[in-house]
Amino acid sequence: MNTLYYSPAACSLGIHFLLEEIGAPYRTVKVSLKEGEQFAPAYVEKNPKSKVPLLERDDGTCVTEFPAIAYWLAKSHPDRQILPEDIEGQTRVLEIVDFAVSTVHMQGFSRIFRAAKFSPREEDHAQVQEAGRAIVKKAFEQISASLGDREFAYGDGLTIADGALFYVLFWACERLNLEVPQNCATYFERLRARPSAERVLRTEGLI
């Protein structure tokens, strides 16, 4: 059985959501980033990067990084169809995943949540956070234009792209109460209403 190492409300939330959508049995292990558990020797042995998510597979091997884990889950459960079969569809879905992770998360929200990483001077932190909010705002405007009035991020069904957008929109809408384009807010509300999201948020102690 696969094991997800997660921290509540971290980016691992998106992988947790995808695991619930897939429906195959899995275990969870909580790693509290706030308490520094990602630096515990037993965890570092599994993931020297000292971050989440981490997926430990049935055979004991581990996969790190959101896009890689999401891709592996999709290819390992082709019956769930959370990644298109055609190369164009796969490319577009991975494009959304990478934008959510590398731009919205790493460039935008990282500045908001961890300003000290971008400047050691405390007097700079407000400016760093404001830059992060500007990045997030522009990114969601671009996502809004791409999303339109579709039910899902790409195509007619849920894909790994929805898992990535779920966690960054959770941060925007529920952690920080940021204003996002209306179609993005409506899209998040639809994902948030899915039974899988309800189970994940309860498991992680977020509701």
The Cα–Cα gap between 123 and 197 comes to 38
Question: Residue 2's beta-bridge partner residues?
Answer: 26
- Whole-prediction pTM value? 0.97
Task: Say yes or no: 7 and 98 in one domain.
Answer: no
Residues 11 and 72 in one domain: yes
**164 and 102 inside one domain:** yes
Identify the pLDDT of residue 167. Answer: 98
Query: 77-117: per-residue pLDDT in tens?
Result: 999 999 999 999 999 999 999 999 999 999 999 999 999 99
Domain range holding 39? 2-79+199-203
The dihedral formed by the CA atoms of 170, 172, 177 and 183, expressed in degrees to the nearest 10 = -90
**Residue 115 and residue 187 in one domain:** yes
Q: pLDDT under 70 in the chain at which residues?
A: none
Q: In terms of domains, do 104 and 43 share one?
A: no
Query: What is the full DSSP assignment across 100-132?
Result: IIIIIIIIIIHHHH-GGGT-S-GGGHHHHHHHH
Give all strands (DSSP E) within the chain, no chain letters: 2-6, 26-30, 54-56, 62-64
Counting Cα atoms < 13 Å in the Cβ hemisphere of 189 gives 7
Do 57 and 132 reside in the same domain of the chain? no
Pairing, β 54-56 against β 62-64: antiparallel
User: Is 171 found in the same domain as 104?
Assistant: yes
Pairing of strands 2-6, 26-30: parallel
The rounded distance, in Å, linking the Cα atoms of 52 and 144 is 27
Q: At how many degrees (to 10) do helices 12-22 and 66-76 cross? A: 10
CATH of the domain at 16: 3.40.30.10
Query: Does 101 share its domain with 176?
Result: yes
- Does residue 39 share a domain with residue 100? no
- The phi, psi pair for 204, rounded to 5°, reads -85, 0
pLDDT value at residue 129:
98
Judge contact between 7 and 15, C-beta under 8 A: no
**Residue written as tokens 């990644």?**
83
Q: What is the pLDDT of residue 15?
A: 98
Residues 100, 27 within the same domain: no
- Give dist(CA 141, CA 87) in Å, integer: 26
pLDDT at 175: 97
CA max distance for the chain: 52
Say whether both 141 and 104 belong to one domain: yes
* Residue bearing tokens 């581990």: 62
If asked whether residues 72 and 108 sit together in one domain, one would say: no
